[in-house]
Amino acid sequence: MNIIVCIKQVPMVSELPWNAKTGTLKRELAQGMMDPSSRQALEAALRLKQGRGNVQITALSMGPPMAEEVLHQAVSLGADRGVLLTDRRMAGADTYLTSFILAEYIRKLAPETDLVLCGSQTSDSETAQVGPQLACELNMPAIGWASDIRLSGRTLTVERHVDDFLETLEMDLPGLVTIDQGAFAPGYAALGGIQDAFEASGVEIVNATTLGLDKGFNALKDSPTRILDVYSPTTRKENRVLKGAARSVVDQLFKEYGKTISSAMGKDLKPK
C-alpha cells in the first residue's frame, strides 16, 4: 500500500515577511517548520502503517530548497522517503497551481499511489483548498476534515465531526483524505533517533523539467489568484465616557458610532 503525505513548510513567525512588489512571501527570511496540520496527516499515515508490513509512506512537498528540512524531519519520524518538488518556476504558486504540481508528480512519478493524506488547512495561508483541489486534479474520491481513519483491505472508514454529530463514511481506495486539526496528536521520536535519521535520510529533489512541466510554465505568472497584500489588521482601543441623560447619551452614541455599530451588527439602526 502506497501512501503519499503532502507536507508544507510554513514560516515559524506571526508576522509574514511579505514582498508587496511581487505579492509573494519572502520565505527565505522566515525560519521554516512543518505545517502543524501536515504533521497530523503524517501521524495518521504512521498509525495506518503500524502493524502493517506492506505500507510505504512518501512525504511529498512543493516548496523552496529550504523545505527539504521538513522532509528530513518526516523521514526521521517514520516516513520511508521524502520527495521535494522545487524549482524557481514553481515559486509563487497559488493553491490551484500547488495542487496541479503535486498532482503532476503523483500522476507521472507515483501512479501506484493508493491513499493521499493532506492536512485540513495550513497555519500560514489557511485556505484549506489544496486537498480538495488535488483530489479533483487526480479525479479521486475525497473526504475532508477526518478525525479518525481505519483501513480494512482496500476500504477506508473515516470519521469526522460535523456540527455536533459524528459522521462515519466509507471510501474504496485510491482516494484522498484531509486530516482535521488536533485529530492525530503527533508522537515524538527520540532526539538521538531524529538526528541520526535526519542525517541518514535521503530526500529526492524533483525539478520542473523532471516533472515534465511545459518550458513556459511559470507558477507566479500562471496562478489565477493574485494576492494583492498581506497585513496584520490593527486593532484600535479607545475609552470614551458619555455623560448626560440616557436619551442624550444614546443620541450621542449613534451620532458618533452609528455606522460602526450598524456594520458590526450588520443591520441599519435608527434611534426610534
Ligand X SMILES: Cc1cc2nc3c(=O)[nH]c(=O)nc-3n(C[C@H](O)[C@H](O)[C@H](O)COP(=O)(O)OP(=O)(O)OC[C@H]3O[C@@H](n4cnc5c(N)ncnc54)[C@H](O)[C@@H]3O)c2cc1C
Q: Which residues bind ligand X (CB under 6 A)?
A: 6-8, 16, 25, 35, 37-38, 41, 61-63, 93-96, 98, 102, 118-119, 121-122, 124-131, 225, 227, 230
- Nearer Cβ to ligand X (129/190): 129
Determine contact, residues 138/107, Cβ cutoff 8 Å: yes
Q: Give the residue with the Cβ less far from ligand X, 47 or 269.
A: 47
* Residue 264 C-beta: closest distance to ligand X, Å: 25
Report yes or no: 54 and 115 within 8 Å, Cβ to Cβ: no
Q: How far is the CB of 4 from ligand X (least distance, A)?
A: 10
Burial class (CB in 10 A: 0-12, 13-18, 19+), 272: exposed
**Between 16 and 151, CB nearer to ligand X:** 16
Query: Shortest Cβ contact with ligand X: which residue?
Result: 119
Residues 6+ positions from 243 with CB-CB distance below 8 Å: 249
Cis peptide before 174 (omega within 30 of 0): yes
Q: Whose Cβ is closer to ligand X: residue 156's or residue 179's? A: 179
Least distance between ligand X and beta carbon 71 (Å): 10
Grid coordinates belonging to 84? 521535494
Q: Do residues 84 and 61 make contact, with C-beta atoms less than 8 angstroms apart? A: yes
Task: Compute the least distance from the CB of residue 98 to ligand X, in Å.
Answer: 4
